[in-house]
């Protein structure tokens, strides 16, 4: 789970993205050019890191003031730089200091107080309960803390009160600590306190053991933050100088994976796969091609039969099968409701056969993929995608829905929206998807290793460091390159990604096609199998 997102100026966006590369690989935040997406991303528990560039966010103006007005309680992490190179330098210093949020330059912050990166009740929650005591809502944050586990001090200070009776106070056994600049923290529901009144304590020091003493049901830690005079100064609408701890909290480093194991990808490696038959069900020649290539993954169409699926599993019991949810977008607009009604019966049948990974549509930034008819850009498609997923999630709760691969490249008038613009505009939908598809194409061997060719997935990784990716389409579609050379390129590509964390499978495009795709197929309509599967099948890994 992610607890930080980096907001970057839309102007010269990819230069800003590249400036963040090492920081992203070290700490794992997501990236966005959209302040609204940043503000809505897991509120109010995330940190928004952003370069404080004059005029960098023209629609919001003063973006700090805009965030505070629209998303109160979110922790802001502005960095006063005005160029990508300066941002890169600032982030490199944070990496070197292991200082993710630049806290060493800040006056006051709170370290995480338990061993569990879970908030069970947020500040201001449940006003119907806490209103009886004159509070606008919950007067602190509740953290998961199992019985008898450690409670840590959030900041340097001095214990000014220690309550040791478990029964005569709503907080039960609790500790109160005074910090600099008038801040105070209260830690409640202990099993046992491990400090004494007047003791000077350090941030990260164990101060007690968790339990459920006082007015509590279930072991947890309650944390309240106060600042002297805050109520009188109008800095809070709570009595007793209580303020929201959320903007001061620093998520523990251990909650953001520095590798990609958190994806939970069961295979543990990037699988070697191919897209099935375009425009129809797999035929005997396709099955033979799969056997020759020793494929580990196949992407199927909606109409695939139970018999074929059973044959594939007989060939390889561990065969990974995914399905593309598809409809005809070449005519009138296809609404989300219409799409769901078309695909749901087929999806239900495949779901009952044990398939769980579904790509929702393909190439939506193409005119043939619905652009200009069903949506006018990435933002509208993102809304369409989310509506489809919501409709299919309830009947198929174990399904993993993928944001589709986009046609790579810049804008082509009347044919394609620039892939980077479309992706940025659909950002919120991408973040909510279970996984993300990437399409990688090239026409010469150097293109296979180019960032805008075979390594286009690296651009996605920079934006979405904690998302499981699938290469949903890869191909060299050049008519001038023979199948043996293409096979060698695909083999090199599979080898390059085999141990790349966070990529589930690579699906070369395509085994066969009812019509067209002559330069991409692995076998033609006469049943002749070319050299691609043979080269792939002769691999030593």
**Residues 239, 355 within the same domain:** no
Identify the domain containing residue 312 by its residue range: 270-537
Instruction: Output the domain CATH number for residue 67.
Output: 3.40.50
Q: Is 451 a domain residue?
A: yes
**Residues 289, 154 within the same domain:** no
* Separation of alpha carbons 357 and 17, rounded Å: 29
Q: Is 307 a domain residue?
A: yes
**Residues 208, 287 within the same domain:** no
**3 state SS for 28-59:** CCEEECCHHHHHHCCCCCCEEEEECCCCCCCC
* Separation of alpha carbons 253 and 257, rounded Å: 8
Q: Is 492 a domain residue?
A: yes
H or E stretch at 244: none
Q: C-alpha distances in angstroms, 43 versus 67, 76, 223, 316, 387? A: 12, 12, 19, 44, 21
**Residues 173, 223 within the same domain:** yes
DSSP 472: E
Nearest alpha carbon to residue 127 among 140, 117, 136, 116: 136
Q: Identify the residue whose tokens are 């549509």.
A: 361
pLDDT value at residue 1: 39
Q: Is 74 a domain residue?
A: yes
**Residues 232, 332 within the same domain:** no
Taking only the tens of pLDDT, the chain with its 541 residues reads 346 889 999 999 999 999 999 998 888 788 889 998 888 765 445 689 999 999 999 999 999 889 877 876 577 889 999 999 999 999 999 988 888 888 767 788 888 899 877 788 888 888 888 888 889 999 999 998 888 899 999 999 999 999 999 999 999 999 999 999 999 999 999 999 999 999 999 999 999 999 999 988 788 999 999 999 999 999 899 999 999 888 788 766 544 333 333 445 655 689 999 999 999 999 999 999 999 999 999 999 999 999 999 999 999 888 999 999 999 998 899 999 999 999 999 999 999 999 999 999 999 999 999 999 999 999 999 999 999 999 999 899 999 999 999 999 999 999 999 999 999 899 889 988 999 999 999 999 889 988 889 999 988 987 887 789 999 999 999 999 999 999 999 999 999 999 888 899 999 999 999 999 999 999 999 999 999 999 999 999 9
**Residues 293, 248 within the same domain:** no
Q: How many CA atoms lie within 13 A of 157 on its CB side?
A: 28
**Residues 94, 143 within the same domain:** no
Helix, strand, coil percentages in the chain from 3-state DSSP, rounded to 5: 30, 25, 45
Q: Is 263 a domain residue?
A: no
Q: Is 438 a domain residue?
A: yes
**Cis bond leading into 257, ω under 30°?**
no
**Residues 220, 282 within the same domain:** no
**Residues 344, 424 within the same domain:** yes
**Residues 293, 171 within the same domain:** no
The domain boundary residue, chosen from 63, 79, 104? 104
Instruction: Indicate the Cα dihedral angle 16, 21, 23, 25, nearest 10°.
Output: 150
Nearest alpha carbon to residue 400 among 294, 261, 266, 257: 266
**Residues 396, 488 within the same domain:** yes
Q: C-alpha distances in angstroms, 476 versus 219, 276, 460, 508, 522? A: 58, 17, 20, 9, 12
pLDDT value at residue 41: 60
* DSSP per-residue codes, 457-470: HHHHHHH-TTS-EE
Q: C-alpha distances in angstroms, 334 versus 80, 348, 369, 416? A: 45, 20, 10, 18
* Separation of alpha carbons 259 and 35, rounded Å: 27
H or E stretch at 408: none
In contact, 500 and 533? CB cutoff 8 Å? no
* Separation of alpha carbons 103 and 96, rounded Å: 13
The domain boundary residue, chosen from 205, 230, 255? 255
Instruction: Output the domain CATH number for residue 217.
Output: 2.70.70.10
Q: Is 505 a domain residue?
A: yes
**Residues 211, 308 within the same domain:** no
Instruction: Output the domain CATH number for residue 308.
Output: 3.20.20.80
Q: Measure the CA angle with vertex 31, ends 447 and 74; round to 5°.
A: 175
pLDDT value at residue 2: 47
Name the domain count of the chain: 3
Q: Is 359 a domain residue?
A: yes
The domain boundary residue, chosen from 225, 255, 285? 255
């Amino acid at each position: 789970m992610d607890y930080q997102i980096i907001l970057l100026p839309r102007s010269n966006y990819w230069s800003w993205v590249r400036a963040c590369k090492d920081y992203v690989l070290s700490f794992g935040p997501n990236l966005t050019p959209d302040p609204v997406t940043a503000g809505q991303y897991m509120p109010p528990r995330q940190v928004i890191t952003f370069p404080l560039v004059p005029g960098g966010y023209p629609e919001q103006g003063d973006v700090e003031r805009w965030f505070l007005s629209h998303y109160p309680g979110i922790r802001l992490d502005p960095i006063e730089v005005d160029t990508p190179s300066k941002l890169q330098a600032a982030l490199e210093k944070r990496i070197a200091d292991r200082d993710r949020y630049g806290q060493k330059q800040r006056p006051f912050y709170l370290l995480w107080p338990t061993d569990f990166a879970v908030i069970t009740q947020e500040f201001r929650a449940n006003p119907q309960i806490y209103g009886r005591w004159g509070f606008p809502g919950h007067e602190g944050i509740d953290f998961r803390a199992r019985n008898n586990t450690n409670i840590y001090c959030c900041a340097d200070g001095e214990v000014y009160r220690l309550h040791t009776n478990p029964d005569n106070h709503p907080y039960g056994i609790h500790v109160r600590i005074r910090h600099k600049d008038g801040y105070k923290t209260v830690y409640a529901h202990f099993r046992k306190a491990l400090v004494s009144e007047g003791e000077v304590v350090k941030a990260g020091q164990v101060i007690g053991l968790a339990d459920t003493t006082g007015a509590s049901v279930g072991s947890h830690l309650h944390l309240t933050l106060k600042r002297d005079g805050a109520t009188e100064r109008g800095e809070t609408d709570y009595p007793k100088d209580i303020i929201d701890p959320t903007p001061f909290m620093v998520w523990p480093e251990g909650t953001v994976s520095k590798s990609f194991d958190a994806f939970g990808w069961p295979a543990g490696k990037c699988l070697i796969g191919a897209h099935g038959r375009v425009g129809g069900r797999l035929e005997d020649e396709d099955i033979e091609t799969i056997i020759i290539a020793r494929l580990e993954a196949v992407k199927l169409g909606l109409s695939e039969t139970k018999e074929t699926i059973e044959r594939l599993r007989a060939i390889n019991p561990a065969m990974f099968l995914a399905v593309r949810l598809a409809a005809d977008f070449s005519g009138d607009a296809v609404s989300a409701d219409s799409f769901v009604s078309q695909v749901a019966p087929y999806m239900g049948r495949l779901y009952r056969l044990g398939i769980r990974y579904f790509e929702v549509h393909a190439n939506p930034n193409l005119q043939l993929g619905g652009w200009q008819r069903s949506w006018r850009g990435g933002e509208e498609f993102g809304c369409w995608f989310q509506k489809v997923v919501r409709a299919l999630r309830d009947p198929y709760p174990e399904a993993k829905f993928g944001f589709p691969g986009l046609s790579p490249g810049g804008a082509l008038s009347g044919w394609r929206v620039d892939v980077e613009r479309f992706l940025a505009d659909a950002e919120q939908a991408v973040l909510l998807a279970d996984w993300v598809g990437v399409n990688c194409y090239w026409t010469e061997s150097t293109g296979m290793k180019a960032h805008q060719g075979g390594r286009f997935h690296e651009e996605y990784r920079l934006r979405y460091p904690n998302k499981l990716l699938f290469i949903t389409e890869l191909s060299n579609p050049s008519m001038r390159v023979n199948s043996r050379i293409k096979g060698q390129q695909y083999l090199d590509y599979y080898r390059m990604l085999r141990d790349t964390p966070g990529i589930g499978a690579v699906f070369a495009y395509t085994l066969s096609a009812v019509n067209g795709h002559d330069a991409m197929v692995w076998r033609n309509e006469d049943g002749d199998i070319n050299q691609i599967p043979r080269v792939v099948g002769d691999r030593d890994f």
